[in-house]
Amino acid sequence: MPEQTEPVLVVGAGVAGGIVAEVLCGRSDRCLQPVGFVDDDPSRQGTVIHGLPVLGTRYDIPALVEQYGIKEIIIAIPSAPGALVRQLVEICHRTGARLKILPGIYDLITGKIKVSAIREVQVEDLLGREPVSLNVEQIAGYLAGRQVLITGGGGSIGSELCRQIAGFKPGLVILIGHGENSIYDVEVSLREEFPRLPLVTGIADVKDRCLMRRLFLKYRPDVVFHTAAHKHVPLMERCPEEAVKNNIFGTRSVAEAACHAGTGTFILVSTDKAVNPVGVMGATKRVAEMVVLEMNRRGKTRFAAVRFGNVLGSRGSVVPFFKRQIAGGGPVTVTHRHMVRYFMTVTEAAQLVIQAGSMAGGGEIFILDMGCPVKIVDLARNLIRLSGFEPGSDIPIEFTGIRPGEKLAERLVAEGEGMAPTEHGRIFKVASPERDFVLLEIMLEAMESADFSFAEKEIKAWLQKVLPDYRPGEFFKDAVEDGVCL
């Protein structure tokens, strides 16, 4: 073994593990040299694969690291569930060896695995969600050659939607947003990644009804994905007027423009926080759902909404926040030890939203399969371990109490609603009772009148009239009672 070679242990003695070992052994620099495998399959114990022995199971990893001086451990199980990855992270963290992973499903038959594909373990790997299966023909049928407009284009979902849509050869993508810096950054990125994509970007406020109408009449979009929204829960509790104006009236403005321009399909990106809302943000998004469903009755445009939970790594979300706290030495702050949330990756969310759009007949609320909810404190512990520290001893975790507008757990279906399957196994439809659109119109007229003060009490009073299940502040009264440190 060359002097500069670092011993490597490969987790998984299957096809992927064998190819990883071959790739590493075939490198000219041989700086990483596999010494063997670990695998939990009893039939593989004591066997030799690609000239390397299977040395034990995952539980033998600490002893093997010490015995062979292992410097790096590579998880080579593309189908590994999140629970297994979490266990491996915990075991390997105690050894001091670097931990890497071969993510995703690669072309294992032809052996097209590059060393560059092996990377650090990320929090997405801990979820272990199944890859999304798309009906490509169905999607291409409504996107290929079409004019597609995306609002909120500078955000995580909006920009990822554009990346995903680019693969279906749209006739034109119109990307608009309110923040010039984010739109500029996304445009530069998209033009580098998709130089042949017909793309128009612009700075536009969805609340500007005249601008929206002119924009829609100019480009006549066939498909619209409306992702623009104020989404930060505590901030919207402090700024309810902006939540109402952007989430409700902004949605109506874009929906009316789409209807007037003869758009074929309009998809509102909604949230699980719209279900039995306790905060202004969730309540305004629930009203936004009602707005698009009411618009569906007016013309030929097919209006639908898609609900899902938190997107891992999106701007302002908990993962980047925790990473900054860990980089600063902690503490990592968690609102409540029992707080749970649904999570999915931005790629998965965008793909399922696009698929739902191909299924929209008009008037639906679609729900994405979010898997099992994740405890936020477990997410914090895992991120600390992935950063090379031990929760509690190296990086403390502090509980700060539930913030205004938050709940301990979110739901995807409201009281009185049910779930019905669709032809796609990861997408469901909400079976819901009739909504009071008359009262919705009365509220919108009241809020648009010159006499409306936009005072917090007045806003919440109207939201409660339209949304009987909106219970502002219900979960906040005990917010600070659990402020205990680990």
Higher per-residue confidence, 386 vs 216 = 216
Closest CA to 358 of 292, 296, 432, 423: 423
Give the N- to C-terminal CA distance of the chain in Å, as an integer.
Answer: 45
Least confident of 53-57, 315-319, 418-422: 315-319
- 480 is a domain residue: no
Residue 423 is classified by DSSP as S
371 burial level (CB within 10 Å; 0-12, 13-18, 19+): middle
Helices (H), 8-55: 15-25
pLDDT at 286: 95
pLDDT tens column, 58-96: 999 999 999 999 999 999 887 778 788 888 988 988 888
Number of domains in the chain: 2
The region, left, alpha or beta by phi > 0 then psi within -120 to 50, assigned to residue 316 is: left
437 burial level (CB within 10 Å; 0-12, 13-18, 19+): middle
pLDDT at 132: 66
Judgement on whether residues 164 and 246 belong to the same structural domain of the protein = yes
- Long-range contacts (CB closer than 8 Å, 24 or more residues apart) made by 188-197: 189/159, 190/159, 190/162, 190/163, 190/166, 193/163, 193/166, 194/163, 194/166, 197/166, 197/170, 197/173
Distance CA(368)–CA(348), nearest Å, equals 10
- DSSP-based three-state secondary structure for 168: coil
- 131 is a domain residue: no
Least confident of 37-51, 312-326, 417-431: 312-326
Percent of the chain whose predicted confidence (pLDDT) is above 90: 55
Closest CA to 56 of 33, 40, 72, 34: 40
- Among the candidates 74, 92, 121, a domain finishes at 121
- 88 is a domain residue: yes
Distance CA(151)–CA(268), nearest Å, equals 10
Judgement on whether residues 110 and 178 belong to the same structural domain of the protein = no
Judgement on whether residues 27 and 83 belong to the same structural domain of the protein = yes
pLDDT at 482 over 60: no
Judgement on whether residues 54 and 179 belong to the same structural domain of the protein = no
pLDDT at 478 over 80: no
- 411 is a domain residue: yes
Q: Is 360 in contact with 302 (CB distance < 8 Å)?
A: yes
Judgement on whether residues 47 and 153 belong to the same structural domain of the protein = no
Beta bridge partners of 98: 72
- 127 is a domain residue: no
- DSSP-based three-state secondary structure for 32: strand
Closest CA to 373 of 310, 329, 422, 430: 310
Residue type, 116: S
Judgement on whether residues 86 and 183 belong to the same structural domain of the protein = no
Highest mean pLDDT among 18-27, 49-58, 132-141: 49-58
Distance CA(246)–CA(169), nearest Å, equals 31
Average pLDDT over residues 98-119: 59
What count of residues does the chain have?
Answer: 486
Q: Residue 53 is part of a domain; what is its CATH number?
A: 3.40.50.720
Helices (H), 387-477: 437-448, 456-466
Residue-wise DSSP of 232-298: -HHHHHH-HHHHIIIIIIHHHHHHHHHHHHT-SEEEEEEEGGGSS--SHHHHHHHHHHHHHHHHTTT
pTM, two decimals, is: 0.82
- Among the candidates 86, 121, 156, a domain finishes at 121
Judgement on whether residues 79 and 211 belong to the same structural domain of the protein = no
pLDDT tens column, 167-199: 899 999 999 999 999 999 999 999 999 999 999
Judgement on whether residues 387 and 423 belong to the same structural domain of the protein = yes
Judgement on whether residues 99 and 197 belong to the same structural domain of the protein = no
Judgement on whether residues 16 and 77 belong to the same structural domain of the protein = yes
Model confidence at 28, pLDDT cuts 50, 70, 90, reads low
- DSSP-based three-state secondary structure for 119: strand
Catalytic residues: 273
Domain extent at residue 93: 6-121
pLDDT tens column, 239-288: 999 999 999 999 999 999 999 999 999 999 999 999 999 999 999 999 99
Judgement on whether residues 101 and 234 belong to the same structural domain of the protein = no
Q: Report cis status (omega within 30 of 0) of the bond before 391.
A: no
Average pLDDT over residues 426-441: 83
pLDDT at 130: 64
- 226 is a domain residue: yes
Q: Is 27 in contact with 114 (CB distance < 8 Å)?
A: no
- 198 is a domain residue: yes
Judgement on whether residues 116 and 150 belong to the same structural domain of the protein = no
The overall average pLDDT reported for the chain is: 87
- 486 is a domain residue: no
pLDDT at 109 over 50: no
- Among the candidates 393, 409, 431, a domain finishes at 431
